[in-house]
Amino acid sequence: MKKIINKKRLTLISLLLFLPLLVGCFAAPPTNLSPTITSTPITLATVDVLYTYDVNATDPEGDTLTYSLIAPPEGMTIDPDTGGTDRGQIFIIDI
């Protein structure tokens, strides 16, 4: 009789220990929220005067951001790590 009680206790303790692990396996994956550009672009430019714009952005989860330009004009570049100092339509992804 004593062995049966011990087996029942062992089974109960095992379930109590492993249940949180099993529940965690079936939880919904975390949502990846989009980054936000926090800087305000300069919207006016003068002909023959260098236009620069430092893009600043944050990610709600603190993910590392990579900056890139979508269809940039010829000669325009952007630093993928810092946001660079150029103008154009900007697309940001988090990794």
| pLDDT tens for each residue of 20-61 | 766 666 667 778 889 999 999 888 878 877 778 888 899 999
Range of the domain at 72: 44-94
The bridge status of strand 65-69 relative to strand 57-58 is unpaired
Neighbouring C-beta atoms of residue 51, cutoff 10 Å: 13
CA angle at 39 for the pair 35 and 42, rounded to the nearest 5°: 135
3-state helix, strand, coil in the chain (%, to 5): 25, 15, 60
> Is residue 27 a part of any domain in this protein?
no
Looking at the structure of the chain, the number of domains it has is 1
Inside any domain, residue 88: yes
First vs last Cα of the chain: how many Å apart?
58
Tell me if 60 is assigned to some domain. Answer: yes
Is 71 domain-assigned? yes
pTM of the model: 0.53
User: Is residue 37 within 8 Å of residue 49, measured between CB atoms?
Assistant: no
**pLDDT > 70? residue 9:** yes
Q: Is 89 domain-assigned? A: yes
Cβ atoms of residues 58 and 38 within 8 Å:
yes
2 falls within a domain: no
**Has residue 58 been placed in a domain?**
yes
